[in-house]
Amino acid sequence: MTAMIKPLRVQEAYEDLLQRSLSRIPCDLGRLLYLASTRDYNTGNYHHDGLADRFSVKVARSALEIAHRQAFCKVAALSLEDLARDLATYLQSSRENPEEFLRIWQRLEPYRIAIPMEVSPTVARLFASNVRLALAVLRLRRESDHSDR
């Protein structure tokens, strides 16, 4: 029989996660991608060493899952203008070559991995569609910047 997880412990772990890890990330999209990266691709289980040490593996897993879903809902509900701004912040913080970043994101669509389990298919679709549009906006801005010079 599996042990019950106390909601209070999950809440504590969630707040710990917000304070120690997520507050250091400068944008919503960055926080979402960070949380998605704590999920195992094969099992779908979340894991975070520091959080699991301070609480327990199960409590950390639940806190990460909740945080991931909340971060996703927040990004999915952003207006296109806000998402484009957020994506620009993420691009800047990644310190990658912007041209290369935009090319890879448009071709490989790595942001799809950020979709949590059991979200509405329409919300998942809206998220992917909005990121595609935000990427097109950033590319257009870069192209017009280049042509102005």
Partner 1 sequence: MMGVWGALAGAIVLLLVLLAWVRAEASSKDSRSAWDASLREQVESVEACSPEIVSQIFSANDLKFILGFESPGLERLFRRERTAVALHWVQETSAIISRILQRHLEASRRSADLEIAMEARILLQYAWLKLNCGILFALIGLLGPQRLAGAALHTERLTQRIREALREFQSAAQLREPDGAGTP
Catalog residues that contact partner 1 under the rule CB under 8 A. Answer: 73, 76-81, 118-123, 125-126, 129, 132-133, 136-137, 140
Q: Which is nearer to partner 1, 37 or 120 (CB)?
A: 120
Least distance in Å: CB of 119 to partner 1?
6
Residue 62: count other Cβ atoms within 10 Å of its Cβ.
Answer: 20
**Closer residue to partner 1, CB minimum distance, 36 or 135:** 135
Which residue number, 53 or 81, has a Cβ lying nearer to partner 1? 81
Considering the complex, what minimum distance in angstroms separates the CB of residue 71 from partner 1?
15
Q: Output the CA–CA distances (angstroms, integers) from residue 59 to 3, 43, 50, 80, in the order listed.
A: 11, 17, 12, 34
Query: What is d(CA 82, CA 75) in angstroms, rounded to the nearest whole number?
Result: 9
- Give the nearest distance from C-beta 7 to partner 1 in angstroms: 19
Whole-number Cα distances in Å, 29 to 8, 9, 59, 70, 148: 27, 26, 24, 12, 29
Asked whether the beta carbons of 88 and 78 are under 8 A apart, the reply is no
CB of 81 vs partner 1, minimal distance in Å: 5
Closer Cβ to partner 1, 43 or 122, answer by number: 122
Give the Cα separation of 69 and 49 in Å (integer): 20
